[in-house]
Amino acid sequence: MTRALLSVWDKTGILDLAKALAAKNIGILSSGGTAKTLRDAGIPVTDVSEYTGFPEMMDGRVKTLHPKVHGGLLGRRGTDDDIMKAHGIEGIDILCVNLYPFEEMSQKNLPLDELIEFVDIGGPAMIRAASKNFKDVAVVVDPSDYPMVIEAVSGKGFTHEQRLGLAAKALTRTAAYDGAISNYLNSLNRDFPTTLTLQFANGRPLRYGENPHQKAAVYGTSGIAGQIALQGKEMSYNNYLDVHAAVSLCRELPSPATVIVKHNNPCGVALGTTQLASYLKARDVDPVSAYGSVVAMNSQVGKDVAEEICSTFVEVLIAPSFTDEAREIMKRKENMRLLLLPSEVPADEVRTIDGGILVQRTPAHEEGWDVVSKRAPTAEEVAALKLAWKVVKHAKSNAIIYANATETVGLGVGQMSRVDSAKLAVIKAAEFGRTMKGTVIASDAFLPFADTLEVAAAAGATALIQPGGSIRDAEVIAKADELGVAVVFTGTRHFRH
């Protein structure tokens, strides 16, 4: 290796790399700002403009876009040597580039004229050239790879696998970069781009999909998808789905709270003065379904919670943190997976359908709150309505949630008819000796008839929260007034299909 070209926006670690190159007498070519950084540190460097005989121009729009650079990156050693020599093209053996920060700057609401200057042209062009010629050129786009490069140049050079791996990573980077620019330009003056380019890295095979005869993989570097469990068996496809459901609800609840999920639906949700109290209450809502469930908590898990969790069978426990004592106790359940509750909420929700995808965005606005009945809900009922409304948002439609101020009491979810959900919740709760007396109900969509209200009121519910908007709203409100039920309309529907 005789020559390297360094041209980086992010100068992190570049001096260490350049020093290692210089120590091995590898000549360094560099663009304006990078060359200055190296020169200021006393590292010998040749400006690209000196090598090409062309100045950097157009405010940096043209720096490295020259056949002497691209020929040096693309020329096949052994095949193109004569032509390279004839045109004074020197082979470039290592290319180190990172790009103008378009992704970051595109979040800053810059005028398009300003933002467009962050579209890097020369960098991706060189990366693509070097990647194509990976047999002869090592291409480095990530400062975290510098130590590996330093080791290679200081030792036996790059292996074929290393060059190929670097090229794959480099082209993945340019694909993401172009995707970000394309998404931005395709979504100007609209909410969603006309063409959507997505990239998910870190693909790992799963043991199987929803069922053992199905092959599956997971992709992602952040949130749940990016995590390696702190302990336990490998996460399964269904675990990921259930954890996603549990986390989406748990994040919205005041802390401490516990959400227990089975097959993508909450089967017990509770608030408590302590994390343990909330867990015990949530588990008691439906202890049968809680067996083999996914449990999400939104405050630290200590010894007491760990002991309780270990007294039953939990597939996955997810919480913001675990005390050392709790971790030690939970080692007893070596198969149970432990994950950390991610704080960041994903911006858009994406689901696949036959031939395409669906994308939706939930605004972070406050729910409406209109009391439409003669009787206003009491403070106790208001607290219960708030909890039930949060839970119903995360249950499969049609959903009817019965709750008191601190816990769900009955959950009727995923039924084709709303009134069935109302009935099922009562039947299930009765199995565990629970009554709906004094509960409130939340309905994810408007009540089309008064029947659901009648079922709930007969079971003992005293207040209802729902979006409203039915042509028979007046009928439902009249029935509520007759039964003494307080009714709140939110104006926002929470279907979940």
Q: What span, in angstroms and rounded, lies between the C-alpha atoms of 44 and 18?
A: 9
CB closer to ligand FAI out of 50 and 482: 50
Work out how close the CB of 11 gets to ligand FAI at its nearest, in angstroms, rounded to a whole number. 8
Q: What span, in angstroms and rounded, lies between the C-alpha atoms of 249 and 251?
A: 5
Work out how close the CB of 63 gets to ligand FAI at its nearest, in angstroms, rounded to a whole number. 4
Tell me which residues in 220-249 interact with ligand FAI (CB under 6 A).
none
Q: What span, in angstroms and rounded, lies between the C-alpha atoms of 314 and 35?
A: 57
How many angstroms separate the Cα of 493 from the Cα of each of 445, 446, 464? 5, 8, 14
Instruction: Given the residues 132, 169, 233, 303, select the one marked as catalytic.
Output: 132
Say whether residue 165 binds ligand FAI (CB under 6 A). Answer: no
Provide CB contacts within 8 A for 430, sequence distance 6+: none
Active site residue 437: no
267 SS3 class: strand
CB closer to ligand FAI out of 48 and 247: 48
Tell me which residues in 1-40 interact with ligand FAI (CB under 6 A).
7-9, 31-34
Q: Catalogue the long-range contacts made by 455-459 (C-beta closer than 8 Å, 24 or more residues apart).
A: 455/419, 455/422, 455/423, 455/426, 456/400, 456/402, 456/422, 456/426, 457/483, 457/485, 459/402, 459/426, 459/435
Interface map 70-99 toward ligand FAI (x if CB under 6 A): ---------------------------xxx
293 SS3 class: strand
Q: What span, in angstroms and rounded, lies between the C-alpha atoms of 180 and 102?
A: 8
CB closer to ligand FAI out of 32 and 320: 32
Work out how close the CB of 58 gets to ligand FAI at its nearest, in angstroms, rounded to a whole number. 8
How many angstroms separate the Cα of 129 from the Cα of each of 78, 88, 93, 237? 17, 18, 12, 38
Give the start-end residues of each E strand in 141-256: 204-206, 216-218
Work out how close the CB of 179 gets to ligand FAI at its nearest, in angstroms, rounded to a whole number. 17
Instruction: Given the residues 36, 263, 303, 374, select the one marked as catalytic.
Output: 263
DSSP 336-398: SEEEEPP-SPPSEEEEEETTEEEEEE---PPPP-EE-SSSPPPHHHHHHHHHHHHHHHTSPSS
Tell me which residues in 107-146 interact with ligand FAI (CB under 6 A).
120-123
**Interface size with ligand FAI, residues (CB under 6 A):** 21
Say whether residue 64 binds ligand FAI (CB under 6 A). Answer: yes
Work out how close the CB of 64 gets to ligand FAI at its nearest, in angstroms, rounded to a whole number. 4
Of 90, 50, 99, the residue nearest 70 (C-alpha): 90
The most distant pair of C-alpha atoms in the chain lies apart, rounded to whole Å, by 96
How many angstroms separate the Cα of 362 from the Cα of each of 223, 251, 365, 367, 385? 18, 14, 9, 12, 21
Work out how close the CB of 390 gets to ligand FAI at its nearest, in angstroms, rounded to a whole number. 45
Work out how close the CB of 444 gets to ligand FAI at its nearest, in angstroms, rounded to a whole number. 49
CB closer to ligand FAI out of 32 and 448: 32
Active site residue 263: yes
Say whether residue 478 binds ligand FAI (CB under 6 A). Answer: no
Q: Which amino acid is at 41?
A: A
Give the start-end residues of each E strand in 427-475: 440-443, 463-466
Q: Which helix (H) or strand (E) holds 487?
A: strand 486-489
CB closer to ligand FAI out of 34 and 183: 34
Contact with ligand FAI (CB under 6 A) among 15, 62, 196, 229: 62
420 SS3 class: helix
Peptide bond into 202 cis (omega under 30): no
Tell me which residues in 431-450 interact with ligand FAI (CB under 6 A).
none
CB closer to ligand FAI out of 121 and 216: 121
Q: What span, in angstroms and rounded, lies between the C-alpha atoms of 382 and 404?
A: 9
28 SS3 class: strand
Work out how close the CB of 343 gets to ligand FAI at its nearest, in angstroms, rounded to a whole number. 31
Say whether residue 260 binds ligand FAI (CB under 6 A). Answer: no
Give the start-end residues of each E strand in 99-234: 138-140, 204-206, 216-218
Work out how close the CB of 418 gets to ligand FAI at its nearest, in angstroms, rounded to a whole number. 57
Tell me which residues in 94-113 interact with ligand FAI (CB under 6 A).
97-100
440 SS3 class: strand
Work out how close the CB of 54 gets to ligand FAI at its nearest, in angstroms, rounded to a whole number. 10
Tell me which residues in 280-319 interact with ligand FAI (CB under 6 A).
none
CB closer to ligand FAI out of 65 and 277: 65
User: Running DSSP on this structure, what letter comes out for residue 93?
Assistant: -
CB closer to ligand FAI out of 34 and 133: 34
Say whether residue 61 binds ligand FAI (CB under 6 A). Answer: yes
Contact with ligand FAI (CB under 6 A) among 3, 63, 281, 396: 63
CB closer to ligand FAI out of 15 and 196: 15
CB closer to ligand FAI out of 66 and 434: 66
* Residues near ligand FAI, by CB under 6 A: 7-9, 31-34, 60-65, 97-100, 120-123
Active site residue ranges: 132, 263
